[in-house]
Structure 1
Amino acid sequence: MRIPKPIKSLQREDGTVKEVMTANYTPKNFRRIFPNQAFPVLSLFANKPTQIVLYLMANADSNNMIYATYKSIMEDCQVTDKKTVARVLKQLQEAQCIVEVSTSHYMLNPAIILQGNDQKFGLLACQFNDLLDAKRAKNKKTKKQEES
């Protein structure tokens, strides 16, 4: 399986935020997708990991927060193996598609899917990046303690 490249951050190394560019939408370059209609259709043809990704996208609230336990994911996606759910969530975190906020609480990267305008995108992107930075700092601290 090919590992996806991490999504580029909107935050520069010096802490400033990159400017978000928008394009003029015309009927030729604009397509609408209705997740509540499209995701169930896509899940008919999806393998279990893809069904889990679609489930997370469909269950994200308007702030891209997902509240889901392993059990609820397993039941709703008809997955019988808890290891599959754990593996998929870990891979999504490594690819920076989601970040774990707390137990059974994740944030979906707004660069993947978003309900809102460019301003909301910028706010959620900053929040997502802050959560990623906090997670990295925590992991770094844990590694240092293990090495000591």
Structure 2
Amino acid sequence: MKEVLAPDEVAQVYRHLSRAMPGRTPGAKGPKGQPDAFRSCVSCMLSAQSRDRNTAAATRALFALARTPQAMLALDDETIARAIKPCGLYNMKARNIRAFCTALLAEHGGAVPDTREGLMALPGIGRKCADIVLSFTFGRDVIAVDTHVHRVCNRIGLAQA
């Protein structure tokens, strides 16, 4: 395993990254273009192990049926699963969406929490999804780390984990 970079080397990597990626894109919307935190969370859950075009098809179909936690809970699992079938793992994702909506209403009055801890306490939301929602929906300075980001950071010496 590669040694962790010295502080001056880390600073150099960040300078290179900041030149290549100068910051947020003005007007960027949440995950998959969703306009609010609830739909961003659901879209993020649907995107797990799914291609972007399949996730887009599933989110369009699902949000054509329901756009709020209350409306989502009015649908049965089979209806949700049928709508989100393009994204794969649809039975599990349908159960997670139902559990997410139930917890969101019971514990937060339907308002999506704006902290990593609050988001991760909800069913179906892991750290990566929480960070994506925090960044895109709430404008927080966080980076969602997936397997690829983790491997690259280890490979170039930014981290050792």
TM-score (norm. length: structure 2) = 0.32
Structure of higher RCO (CA pairs closer than 8 Å, 6+ residues apart): 2
**Larger gyration radius, structure 1 or structure 2:** 2
